[in-house]
Structure 1
Amino acid sequence: MKETGGWLSSLDKAIQSKIDLYVAFHGCKNEEFKYKGTTYFSIKLNRSIYQKIGRKIGKSFDNRENLNLYLTVIDKVKPDVIHIHGTEQSFGCIIKNTMQPIVVSIQGNLTVYHHKFFSGFEKKYLKIKKRTIKWPLSFFSPGNFKSIYKTYSKLRFNEQEYLKNCKYVIGRTRWDYRISRILAPQSKYYHCDEILRDEFYDKCCNVKVEKDEKIFFTTSSNNFYKGIETIFEAVELLNKGKLNFKWYIAGICKDDLIVHILRKKYDKLILNEIIFLGKLNAKEITSYMANTDIYIMPSHIENSPNNLCEAMLFGLPSIATFAGGTGTLIDDNVNGILIQDGDPWAMAGAIIEIISSPNLISKLRVNARRIALIRHNKEKIVTNLIKIYTSIINEAKN
């Protein structure tokens, strides 16, 4: 059971020939269909207008109606093992309500993300609005980050309940292992890395000729704790040194709420070097990466961010904040550079350090791709995941 996503589609594709695979996901209608050997169940959540209003005014997330939808699918499939990807959605409500063994993959963690929400911005910026939809639809669309913060505040309790009752978890970093020992203390922990999108395996960054203008690249999202404000501050510092560069940011549009907030926070700061690209597909991202000198991941909290993993797999020299699980991905000064989150001086300094040393560029590029190819090896991951499933099934039988 999962939410649809790029890396999940890659896992689906890699594993479907090895097992009988059934995939349940949230969709716009209730539908069962088969595609390339996998059976899919699109599940439309039961959310009446009264439930939406209840959530808006602060009532808790009640998943009892959705539970019946999930149990109907389970009863039809009768799976040997159920794999839930992520702890933030309502699929976790089945954990106490079925006898089938369940394993939960830790993607992010709302409990920790809620705790780190204000690492980049003060609370006063929560109320800034930028609505593009007229009433009454705007009532159900988050007009500011306060709505998202309140949602996290409520969902984290569901997440904590799911994990407390979870017997098996899958993770991939020292960070998610450690938090699982607190949030899911009775669980058995398995390590399994992720399969990334094909485009990042097929191509890699080549050594470029010297050019006057340096290109930096970041993939992020319209969110409060992704550290975009650190990029703004680092750019200001780099401008004082007269560096000639452009910084491309994918995943964020120039009209997104986070950009609106940044412009209010830095009202007198004009940064022509930052270019917001909006959402890009994998092919478009690799096209930009092919001309990139350094990849920068600025978040205040992550687990193993796929954007960083993809950049390293592509062979880009990368700078990342030491946030959550990134310390598992990067061995500092070996296959990337780690800096403190929220520190624009260290970010700008790391950029200067890399572009000033051709030997360092070469070392980071080669090691990043070499280690990432091992970590994200498709056959190894599929074999490991099937071993995990087999172990759980055998343990459940006993």
Structure 2
Amino acid sequence: MKLFWMLNFLPPELSQALGLPAQASGSWVQALRAQLAALPGAPQLTLCGYTPHVTKAQRRIIGGTAYLALPAAGGRAVLARALAEDQPDLVLLFGTESEHALWVLQSFDPARILVYIQGLAGPCGAHMADGLPPRFLRRQPLKEALAARTGGATVRQLAARLTARGEREKQVLALARHVLGRTGWDKAYCEQHAPAARYYPLGEILRQPFYAGGWRRQGCIPHRIFVSQGNLPLKGLHRAIEALPALLPDFPDAALFVAGWPPPDKGPLLRPAMRWLAEYPGYLAALAEKLGVADRIHYTGVLGADAMREEFLKSETYLLCSSIENSPNSLGEAMLLGMPCAASAVGGVPSLLESGAEGVLFNPSAPGALAAALAGLWADPARADALAAAARTRALADHDGPAIAAQLLAICRQALAGL
């Protein structure tokens, strides 16, 4: 079986071969490739990565695997030629919102394309500013122009970009005949926007360091909260900051650790201008100061897998405070480690963690719900530990690498048998 695997990033080994910096994405590709290669009847793969960082198509053979770097300019014609030359049995299309996703559906038989959902861009755009003051969705021509020139974006611009990608995503799903997803939420979305497609559930392989578990109460710092992403308003860091004052009377040592960089600060003279331009980070800094919790918030910088694992293990609780998610990998990684989890009951999250049995889910828009979820876990450590152990058992089954690879190969064969 010949599979043409269309990715929305360059695999690290291809980036290296082309002399480009490796992208943060991609560990799951290596893991799934390795698991597929170990199966009887393993497919022959061509990996095609879409990137604006190359100006012309680049083909490489690396370790016996064929690679293609697909440029943004002229990429549609390059892709059509590559598919005509390779004549794959099936195309695996990962991601639905980028322009190349539509190129795939328009250049190849949709009955031979498996569309694998990652996030859902349209709903993410719609929820980008949840929990923020209405002013964040108003037009600000000067700030938007300056943000664009400096590589940034206002909250309104971020929402608009994802909303536009969501419209393209709907076009992709409307053409799809086979869709692979992971949650009840993305399945319901596909039933609405991909009416001609068959839906197949398929889990995701996560980063290897997390499978070994390792969280222990005696090894963590009490009342230390870890949030794995806070740059985008969608991730809801403002909600976590707002919850801190309610926690401090009973848990005066509570502290919030966030993976990523702190809001930019060039000193008191430039601070107002920096906070105005770096809109969301500036809002977070001002909010923390207003609530008197700035000293409780710590940013770790960008972390690789091993460093991220250490931050998880040092924390008493993993917190997912997003306004919308499909299947957040960070939640799966926390569950694999066997640590107590509190998460927003949004999107596909309830498909990944059962509230009261494997962790605690809360309504992120309900006043006090986030603080109550954390306080409940902290007030009853024995219960929190039991939930965490159950979460680890669930995650080991949901993210079982050999089982996921075997299931994907079975789906491929099923799709081919229906032609």
The 8 Å contact of residues 325 and 349 in structure 2, kept in 1 or not, is answered as yes
Out of 250, 256, 260, the position equivalent to 1:241 is 250
Which residues of structure 2 form unaligned runs of 5+?
Answer: 1-5, 10-24, 265-277
| Aligned residue among 269, 282, 285 for 1:260 | 282
Provide the C-alpha distance between the structure 2 equivalents of 1:337 and 1:284, rounded to a whole number of angstroms: 25
Q: Secondary structure at the match of 1:225?
A: helix
Q: For 2:357 and 2:302, how far apart are their aligned partners in 1?
A: 31
Residue 19 of structure 1 deviates from its aligned partner by 1.7
Give 2:234's aligned residue.
Answer: 225
Secondary structure, counterpart of 1:69 in structure 2: helix
AA matched with 2:400:
N
Task: Specify the alignment match of 2:340 in structure 1.
Answer: 317
Further displaced range: 121-130 or 189-198: 121-130
Aligned to 2:418: 395
Shift of 1:125: 2.3
Amino acid across the alignment from 2:192:
I
Distance 2:286 2:317 in 1: 28
Report the counterpart of residue 14 of structure 2 in structure 1: none
Distance in 2 between residues matched to 1:85 and 1:210, nearest whole Å: 37
The 2-side partners of 1:305 and 1:237 are apart by 26
SS in 1 for 2:318: strand
* 2:202 maps to 1:192: yes
Between 183-192 and 358-367, report the one with greater CA deviation.
358-367
Alignment of 1:157-236 (within 5 A): 157-208=167-218, 213-236=222-245
Query: In the alignment, is residue 45 of structure 1 matched against residue 56 of structure 2?
Result: no
- Is 2:291 the counterpart of 1:269? yes
Give the TM-score of the pair, scaled to structure 1. Answer: 0.87
AA at the equivalent of 2:130: S
TM-score by length of 2: 0.83
Residue 112 and residue 44 in structure 1: after superposition, are their counterparts in 2 closer, same or farther (change >3 A)? same
Among residues 3, 11, 19, which one is paired with 2:43 in the alignment?
19
What are the within-5 Å matches in structure 2 for residues 279-358 of structure 1? 279-343=302-366, 345-358=368-381
Q: How many residues align?
A: 375
Counterpart selection for 2:165 from 148, 155, 168 = 155
Distance across 2 between alignment mates of 1:260 and 1:332? 33
CA deviations on 1:97-137 (whole Å, 9 max, x unpaired) are: 32261111111112212222231223412567999xx98x9
**Is the contact between residue 185 and residue 348 of structure 2 (CA under 8 Å) also seen in structure 1?**
yes
Q: Are residue 144 (structure 1) and residue 154 (structure 2) matched?
A: yes
- For residue 20 of structure 1, report the CA deviation from its aligned partner: 0.9
Matched-pair identity in %:
24
Match of 1:99 among 82, 100, 109: 109
> CA RMSD for the aligned pairs?
2.5
> Equivalent residue of 1:268, what SS?
helix
Q: Which amino acid aligns with 2:233?
A: F
Task: Provide Cα deviations, 1:60-87, integer angstroms capped at 9, x if missing partner.
Answer: xxxxx43212212212322111111111
Give the secondary structure class of the aligned counterpart of 2:176: coil
Q: In the superposition, relative to structure 1, how do residues 13 and 342 fare at CA in structure 2: closer, same or farther (>3 Å)?
A: farther
Alignment of 1:29-108 (within 5 A): 29=54, 30-46=57-73, 65-93=74-102, 94-99=104-109, 101-108=112-119
1:353-384: CA deviations, max 9, x gaps? 11111221221121111111011111100000
Asked if structure 2 preserves the Cα contact closer than 8 Å seen for 1:318 and 1:336, the reply is yes
Q: Helix, strand or coil: the match of 1:43?
A: strand
Aligned to 2:315, the other structure's residue is in SS state: coil
1:266, distance to aligned residue in structure 2 (A): 5.6
Tell me, in whole angstroms, the C-alpha distance in 2 between the residues paired with 1:312 and 1:192: 18
